[in-house]
């Protein structure tokens, strides 16, 4: 067996499926009810999982990133996403609201500090939470780094980044609903339509927006994954909430999260990014590691953006295992 084959054979997989022992809808304000759940060890090390999107919601396999014998695992569907209601609602839906929701859950569970784990937009929210509440975070596990800068958004959603040259067929589907004269700012153009009063226009554009990300997320093509991103309910929340956040720069000044990451130097941190991540290109993870020189950076040589690619999965599991006993 070659060294590469041995390395692949030694890669870790997810922990077995597990069901929550507690779940609840919390009314956060006059509009939003947020779903959250807890599984694993009631006396274990607390960790909160921040899902992607924004608007993506949690999946059952997100419980499986953590050793259930050692972790008290907290998952929540962010405002408007997943099981939270009202579905795809944008009112009172900002990064600051999500951070406040995390604090409500932490206090309700009587947790003093917890590990924060997130990928893609989840890495954004994890960083934002840690910068707002650095005394409440024991460790950070971050994957597919995204810091909301305009340059990152343009790389993926506009003609300026070159991603469309790798996925011309998917790009054609993405730009199709937008008139040629509006394609210089795809986020703004989609915003007009995703927030339209016309249900058909909203859904058509939601599917095109969502499937662009689905088609570019994995190193190897996965038609079933792309089809999931085109499902009506998922696509509507995913596209509307993402576009809402991205049109507002995530409700932060330009470059805020990256500029303030050095303040987290006391928090043990693992950063994982696929070498061929087209959704959240490697450059941002590299720049974050320069702001956080204490962090461990792992570049996965055979991975794109998706968390389920073997090398990425392996490194994330190794990180949570290491921190379980810290």
Catalytic residues: 120, 277, 305
Token pair belonging to 268: 């043990």
Token pair belonging to 90: 């944008």
Taking the C-alpha atoms of residue 70 and residue 72, their distance in angstroms, rounded to an integer, is 7
Token pair belonging to 267: 């928090």
């Amino acid at each position: 067996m070659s060294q590469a084959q041995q390395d692949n054979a030694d890669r870790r997989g997810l922990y077995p499926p597990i069901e929550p022992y507690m779940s609840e809808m919390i009314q956060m304000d006059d509009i939003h009810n947020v779903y959250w759940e807890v599984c694993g060890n009631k006396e274990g090390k607390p960790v909160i999982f921040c899902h992607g999107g924004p608007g993506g919601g949690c999946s059952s396999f997100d419980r499986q990133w953590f050793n259930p014998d050692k972790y008290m695992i907290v998952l929540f569907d962010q405002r408007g996403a997943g099981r939270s209601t009202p579905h795809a609602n944008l009112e009172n839906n900002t990064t600051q609201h999500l951070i406040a929701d995390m604090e409500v859950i932490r206090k309700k569970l009587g947790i003093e500090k917890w590990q924060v784990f997130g990928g893609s937009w989840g890495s954004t929210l994890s960083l934002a939470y840690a910068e707002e509440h650095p005394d409440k975070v024991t460790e950070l596990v971050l994957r597919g780094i995204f810091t909301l800068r305009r340059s990152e958004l343009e790389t993926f959603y506009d003609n300026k980044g070159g991603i469309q040259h790798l996925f011309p067929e998917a790009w054609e589907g993405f730009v199709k609903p937008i008139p040629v004269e509006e394609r210089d700012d795809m986020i703004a153009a989609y915003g007009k339509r995703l927030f339209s009063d016309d249900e058909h226009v909203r859904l058509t554009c939601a599917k095109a927006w969502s499937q662009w990300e689905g088609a570019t997320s994995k190193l190897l093509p996965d038609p079933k994954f792309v089809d999931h991103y085109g499902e009506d309910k998922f696509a509507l929340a995913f596209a509307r909430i993402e576009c809402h956040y991205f049109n507002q720069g995530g409700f932060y000044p330009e470059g805020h999260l990256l500029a303030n990451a050095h303040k987290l130097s006391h928090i043990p941190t693992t950063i994982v990014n696929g070498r061929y991540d087209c959704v959240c290109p490697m450059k941002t993870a590299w720049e974050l590691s320069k702001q956080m020189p204490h962090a461990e950076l792992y570049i996965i040589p055979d991975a794109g953006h998706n968390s389920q690619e073997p090398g990425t999965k392996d490194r994330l599991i190794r990180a949570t295992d290491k921190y379980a006993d810290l």
